[in-house]
A = this chain, B = another copy of it.
Amino acid sequence: MNIDSIFQAAQTAFLDYKNLSGKEKGHFLDTLAEILESNRESIVPLAVRESNLPEGRINGELGRTTGQIRLFANLVKEGSWVEATIDPALPDRSPLPRADIRRFLTPLGPVVVFGASNFPLAFSTAGGDTISALAAGCPVIYKAHPAHPETSRKVAECIHQALAATNLPTGLFTHVEGGIAEGQALVQHALAKAVAFTGSHAGGMALFKLANQREEPIPVYAEMGSVNPIFCFPNKLAKEIESLAKVFVGSLTLGVGQFCTNPGLIFVPASQAKTFETHLIEELKGIPAAPMLHPGIAKSFHDSIQNLETRGELRWIKVAAPKHLLNGSAALAEIQVSDWLKDNQFQQEVFGSFALMVVYQEMEDLSEVARQLQGQLTITVWAEADELEAQVPLLNLLEEKCGRLLFKGAPTGVEVGNAMQHGGPFPATTAPNSTSVGANAIKRFTRPIAFQDMPQDLLPNALKDGNPLGIWRTVNGRITME
């Protein structure tokens, strides 16, 4: 099947699918979740083999995947997400009457989704991007990640089973395999209306540029990771130094560090750097080297570490295990804040279990850090209540640099819910006004449309008088279910 036929089929499917009721879309998604669960025994071993991730993790990830699917199923079945807004006609308004104007969110059209290597299920074939696009009403042309082709094919089969079981056209989902050229061709097709991507900065930026050079530029929702700094304030660290070292090392080494929210930067006061270091070394002792997702990622990890080893500003707390075709192991280096501030290279993500411990002298150093910090998915602040109150201006600066600001625990483990924001200022993403996790991810694949003086029987149900769907709407500026 050539790319043009894929998009033509998707577009044809779209013109019906966009008008499907939320209940019907939800039924399709629920069916898909059931089919994925009933195929657990064949999917999990494939994903384990292709990702080198442990079975427990992949089993959990399948649960996360079906959980996400059900979140979106419930969202579209409930229906209020379309932001229905009604300004009824005011025929007697002076000096001019007001027309009847009704607005809601409508899906964009066929979208291109790129799978991520580090979540072979939850951010891949039936992952968050695919599902939020399908929930919005958009067909998906899915570019499979070459690191897990069999898992991807199997999940794609499940999607097609769910489409068949709910009498929906196959054009709503197409599984495309190939390399960079195939991916580029998808982004360049005139019928593509948006792109979702999770992966490297280089990959995301290449797609972003390509999409902006099209005759019709289209949005690219690229989540390109970040170093997710953790700021340790002195009193908090003094009080809980051992448990915080444990939390940090746990987050740093989880999944061999292969998470977008992996903490690659930790700011520690000079007075406690040595003690913290001792605890880190202790914690790291129990963590063996482990296989990474694929040899390319392992090579990249080791090359980055090797490159950093040439930097005289760093003192190594723990060097990585020797270069290995597949394994990665934790590595940790220390740098003084004055050196860190001199070179933005020290803000670059190393994908894997590597972190820089930045030693600062006084709180004022952190304001300069906050100003110079690039956009992040997350920033974590470990502080006592009184320390936070004294540092409100610093928090105010840090807010400007992230999509999620945490005060407990670690940035890994991204909750899938209504309030989650998984995104952030550039270079963390190319679209800071969007999230790729949680209910709001659906809005990436929509645009508002207004109908003026449209006859009642032609209006979408969400906008009809009498609120037949029973959803929350804004009528005359007032939020109401009437």
Q: Which residues of A contact B (CB under 8 A)?
A: 15, 19, 74, 80, 85-87, 96, 98-99, 101-103, 106, 108-109, 208-209, 212, 216-219, 375, 385, 388-389, 392-393, 395-397, 399-400, 402-409, 413, 415, 417-421, 423, 425-427, 430, 432-435, 439-440, 443, 446-455, 457-458, 472, 474, 476-477, 479
Contact = CB atoms under 8 A, between A and B. Distances in A.
A415 B101 contact: yes
Given A106-B399, A208-B217, A426-B216, A419 B453 contact: no
A448 B421 contact: yes
Contact of A450 (B208, B217, B413, B419): B419
A195 to B, nearest CB: 14
Copies in the complex: 2
Of A216, A385, A432, A434, most buried by chain B (CB within 10 Å of CB) is: A432
Given A435-B448, A453-B406, A419 B85 contact: yes
B479 A418 contact: no
Contacts of A403: 447-450
A419 B406 CA distance: 35
Contacts of A423: 447-448
B388 A458 contact: yes
Given A15-B397, A219-B433, A452 B407 contact: yes
Contacts of A415: 87, 98-99, 101
B219 A87 contact: no
A209 B212 CA distance: 8
Given A87-B415, A400-B109, A415-B87, A420 B450 contact: yes
A452 B404 contact: yes
A449 B400 CA distance: 9
28 contacts: A85-B418, A87-B415, A96-B413, A98-B417, A108-B432, A208-B212, A208-B217, A212-B212, A216-B375, A217-B426, A217-B430, A219-B433, A385-B455, A388-B455, A388-B458, A392-B458, A402-B449, A403-B450, A404-B450, A405-B451, A406-B452, A407-B455, A409-B453, A418-B474, A418-B477, A433-B446, A433-B447, A440-B448
A429 to B, nearest CB: 10
Contact of A454 (B96, B407, B477): B407
A474 B389 CA distance: 27
Which of A106, A208, A404 is the most central at the interface, judged by chain B CB atoms within 10 Å of its CB? Answer: A404
A426 B413 CA distance: 38
Contacts of A433: 219, 443, 446-448
A429 B444 CA distance: 17
Nearest to A430: B217
Contact of A421 (B96, B375, B449): B449
A392 B361 CA distance: 69
Contacts of A86: 419
B432 A447 contact: yes
Given A101-B417, A389-B457, A423-B447, 10 more contacts: A87-B418, A101-B415, A103-B420, A392-B458, A399-B449, A403-B450, A407-B453, A419-B474, A432-B447, A433-B443
A425 B417 CA distance: 30
Nearest to A383: B455
A393 B472 CA distance: 28
Contacts of A402: 449
Contacts of A420: 87, 101, 103, 450
Contacts of A419: 85-87, 101-103, 450, 474
A74 B478 CA distance: 12
Contacts of A99: 406, 408-409, 415
A163 to B, nearest CB: 21
A310 to B, nearest CB: 25
Contacts of A408: 99, 452-453
Contacts of A101: 415, 417, 419-420
Nearest to A427: B216
A27 to B, nearest CB: 19
A233 B66 CA distance: 48
A209 to B, nearest CB: 8
